Amino acid sequence: MAVPQVITYSPAFTLVPTYECFNRCTYCNFRTDSGQSPWLTLEAAAAQLSALRQSGIVEILVLSGEVHPRSTRRRDWFERIYQICELALSMGFLPHTNAGPLSYDEMARLRQVNVSMGLMLEQTTPRLQETVHRNAPSKDPALRLQQLEWAGELKIPFTTGLLLGLGETQAERRSSLKAIAAAHLRWGHIQEAILQPYSPGQQEQWAGPGFELDQMAALVAIARELLPDDITLQIPPNLVRSPQHLRDCLEAGARDLGGLVPRDHVNPDYAHATLDRLAEHLDPKTWRLQPRLPVYPAFDEWLPASVQDRVKCWRARLEAGYTGPITAIMQTT
């Protein structure tokens, strides 16, 4: 009898330090202008985290809009992100930060309070800087490729990926995947590559049609061919909305569903299905959903000792089948 293929997901919750962002990507449904998004206070973050302690949530995704690197507010912005990660870690959660391109020193410091970090490469073609990214300086492909290199140098377990349907060609998608593969072959640090279909939302300025989901499985197969085997392919099930498209992507080589969060702040028009509903779409004889940590086992030794202790405890609990309140995790650390 065949053994079901494991499909992983991360029990996650998102904290947003701020929605303000100096980029103006025309397809964005996340950003606000400066002054329109009060920064998340540590008191408010603590209250949200405290409410999660009976939930079984493991990962805290710290997802932020970007304050300009030359802004006088940049240091305060970075400190707030650092403090939120530090707080989440102290309360027993495992932080994963995605806050746009960072300086080398910022990445090195955040490494101390995160189990992993991430930044979407999106696409390596500079053509998009003339269209959807024309007012988004930090979407410069060279800048994003540099982040992949720095993450490797700093031994940061990293997640990256492609945003699909922005006007790129199939050849450009392949080139972007090859760039991810090349960085990983140099450093061995990329845990996951996300294939994220652009999905139209209500707040954006662009009127793009969205990525054609009938193309997803074929692109998953291409990515599986071009990327090293130890990079897990991730697809977001709230954007790959049809159960048949989801199954097709899994059959083509996708093995992870990412963070199943109560609200997708980047794509607020597309709610995640419950875990039970996802399980209904997947034949248990073929697929088995399994929770994971936001850091893969191969990277545990890369983490600072204080962070390793927390990860070891969570890993032992998950391996034993525990998905209960975080208070029980805290009692053992």
pLDDT digits (tens, 9 = 90+) for 302-318: 999 989 999 999 998 88
Question: Which residues are CB-contacts of 118 (< 8 A; sequence separation ≥ 6)?
Answer: 96, 97, 98, 158, 159, 160
Q: What percent of the chain is modeled with pLDDT above 90?
A: 87
User: What's at 52, amino acid-wise?
Assistant: L
CATH architecture of 10-326: Alpha-Beta Barrel (3.20)
The pLDDT value recorded for residue 1 is: 66
Residue 2 has pLDDT above 70, yes or no: yes
pLDDT digits (tens, 9 = 90+) for 113-142: 999 999 999 999 999 999 999 999 999 999
Confidence of residue 55 (pLDDT cuts 50, 70, 90): confident
The pLDDT value recorded for residue 331 is: 36
For the chain, which residues make up each domain, given as ranges? 10-326
> Residue range 231-251: average pLDDT?
97
Question: Which residues are CB-contacts of 192 (< 8 A; sequence separation ≥ 6)?
Answer: 159, 160, 161, 231, 232, 233, 234, 256, 258
